[in-house]
Chain A
Amino acid sequence: MSAVAHGAGAPAAPAGPDTATRGKFLPYLLLLPGALWLLIFFVVPLAQLFTVSLQSQFPGYPGYYYRDVNFRNYLDAFTEFAPHFGRSLLFAGLATFFAFALSYPLAYAMAFKAGRWRSLMMICIIAPFFTSFILRTIAWRQILADEGPVAKVLNTLHLLPGGHITETWMAVVAGLTYNFLPFMVLPIYASLERVDPRVLEAGGDLYANGFTTFRTVTLPMSMPGVLAGTLLTFIPAAGDYVNAELLGSDRSTKMVGNVIESQFFKVPGGYPTAAALSFTLMALILALVFVYVRRFGTDELV
């Protein structure tokens, strides 16, 4: 309160006639900080990144560039790193699928069957966020290690062709699935939780058995949550590089994220390639999401 008392120079609020004008501009005023933030830290860097993606190498001076409109960068980046793009989309797709397969029953149980355990389950889902996800991802190396419980059991059962889980695509997909699970569970739970149990009873009353009620009522009603969850999982997973870095191998499991990272920070003169890769990835994801939402989208996306 003392701060107010000391604010001697504070101008008196304008009275009377200004209120109408102020009311009209108030929403824009409230938008201003966020808009500025986006402009300075998103739009400007994006434009900058785009110009970088078109630069050409200065002949004879590795690591030096000049401003140019060189679309070859895109072609080179895409042809050279096509397998990485493929892996990114494939791993992200697999992780989204597994996360969905794990999340839906979990969200369903929480919404309809958990009773007084619901809050505890919610805490269990959110609690891991209190630890760094890097640490949690590293912990997966222990879990999946050759001497770890999972690999040992699978090896004993002769179910593991290569003998390893770490350094393979399985570890990367497992890590991605694990890391993005909450982003799948929470939206699905939110949409299931809003389903009126009476509506499900109405399904039973109208000659639909349990499975039919699920197929014709519960699942369609939870589609907005499924859509949001798959997007929240797929998009960041496709751009992820931490899981491939920490759980994958040096060669066969690298994703686009890893390439971008190394082009930016490890390969001298990789800047235009890295920028072109970033834009290509963004365009790919946008196109996929657009098709997906057009196909499965509902009126509301929450």
Chain B
Amino acid sequence: MAGFREAQGDLRIESVTKAFADFKAVDDLTLTVPRGSFFALLGPSGCGKTTTLRMVAGLEQPTSGRIFIGNTDLTGSRPYERPVNTVFQSYALFPHLTIRDNVAFGPKRRGAKDAARLADEALELVQLPHLAGRKPTQLSGGQQQRVAVARALVNRPEVLLLDEPLGALDLKLRRQMQVELKRIQTEVGLTFIHVTHDQEEAMTMADTVAVMNHGRIEQMGAPARLYDLPATAFVANFVGQSNLGVGTISGTDGDFLVAEVGGSKVKIPKARSQVQQGHVMFGVRPEKVRIHRDRPTGVGSDMQATVRDVSFTGVATQYLVTVASGATWSVYEQNLDVEPIDLHPGDQVWMSWDPGHAFGVPSDGAEVPDGPVLADVSIGDVPLQDAP
């Protein structure tokens, strides 16, 4: 096929900027996605993740910068010239073609003689061979989604792009498809780039997650690493939740920095803080914090608080408490004890945590809301709401 660019290797995005009028959707982005990895671009809507994906697909051209696969420069080439296929958010199946013809569309365009057989094999992979003769409108959302995956996979692209492919599915189906997609990726070994605003989805599926905000990558790494040690306040709140407070570093204590946060002294491991002096934003994850009636002794850090809300969720109980500075913190307590801690709104309590779990991120320009931020009303998150 004329103009088609065979390419193999890592996907490299080099200093790519995409501007629409005076709005920079993607701002000087540099990124390498290793061949064969499952990579997630995570961020809120409007952060530039979909624009990035569309530039890799060739559906948008970067304002500046270059995009490579291996050593082949794809910048400026048309979508049909790239060894890249997309699973669209709305699936975008061809409504006038049968499922088999939908899947065979790509191979046919590339002149494959056995397009129908390839299509049937791909449908086998997504476990839908029995629907090959139907039209897209006769399929459920989940089935259409799998057809969209098959239609892209059948071409064995060097990079497969998934644009929020699970967004339209209900909770149970979404879970199922996450496992399914992960299985398929392992089976075919292609590079998958998955765009999503659902942090849980990104963390369950991807080897590497890049958190995007305002057209830039805030932080990139393995899911566990991102969660354990966020580098910015945005990541701390977008990937899971964090209890945050702005303070000033007042000194050191061995391997720890000591900071003054809302009238209390807290410790942050030096190695876990992005700032070593001046203003810092202190953070600790809700499940790392314990809650007590009386001041505990011999534990690392503690702070006094007033209970605002208690929600029992079975596995855990979630407390919303107000700390001295007026901020709201959230605490998850697993229901391990025989005797439940019987707490009610208005009770005075103590919170404690191992200072080794604390982290420090730059405080300037951080969008810090008053209290923990709900990452996303996504599946599996313990519902977190103020009592009416």
Contact = CB atoms under 8 A, between A and B. Distances in A.
A204 interface: yes
Contacts of A205: 57-59, 79-80, 84-86, 152
B312 interface: no
Task: With a 10 A CB-CB cut-off, give which of A204, A206, A220 has the most chain B CB atoms.
Answer: A206
B358 to A, nearest CB: 45
A223 B94 CA distance: 14
Interface string B152-166: 100100000000000
B189 to A, nearest CB: 21
A202 B152 CA distance: 9
B192 to A, nearest CB: 15
A199 interface: yes
B88 A206 contact: no
Nearest to A204: B79
A201 B109 contact: no
Q: How large is the interface on B (under 10, 10 to 19, 20 to 34, 35 or more residues)?
A: 20 to 34
Contacts of B88: 198, 201-202
B90 A206 contact: no
Main SS at interface, chain B: loop
Q: How large is the interface on A (under 10, 10 to 19, 20 to 34, 35 or more residues)?
A: 10 to 19
Nearest to B163: A198
Contact of B110 (A201, A204, A207, A217): A207
Contacts of B341: none
Contacts of A119: none
A228 B40 CA distance: 46
A207 B92 contact: no
B151 A206 contact: yes
A202 B94 contact: yes
Interface string B56-79: 011100000000000000000011
Contacts of A209: 78, 80
B105 A204 contact: no
A198 B4 contact: no
Nearest to B83: A207
Interface in B82-124: 84-86, 88-90, 92-96, 105-106, 109-110
B1 interface: yes
Contacts of B59: 201, 204-205
Contact of B92 (A202, A212, A220, A221): A202
A202 B95 CA distance: 12
Interface string A181-214: 0000000000000001011011111111100100
Contact of B80 (A208, A216, A221): A208
Contacts of A220: 96
A206 B96 contact: no
A194 B168 CA distance: 20
A217 B96 CA distance: 8
B90 A196 contact: yes
Given A202-B86, A206-B109, A216-B105, 13 more contacts: A199-B92, A201-B92, A202-B88, A202-B92, A202-B94, A203-B94, A205-B80, A205-B85, A205-B152, A206-B80, A206-B105, A208-B105, A208-B109
26 contacts: A198-B89, A198-B92, A201-B79, A201-B86, A201-B88, A201-B92, A202-B88, A203-B105, A204-B78, A204-B80, A205-B58, A205-B59, A205-B152, A206-B151, A206-B152, A207-B1, A207-B109, A207-B110, A207-B155, A209-B80, A216-B105, A220-B96, A221-B94, A221-B95, A221-B96, A223-B96
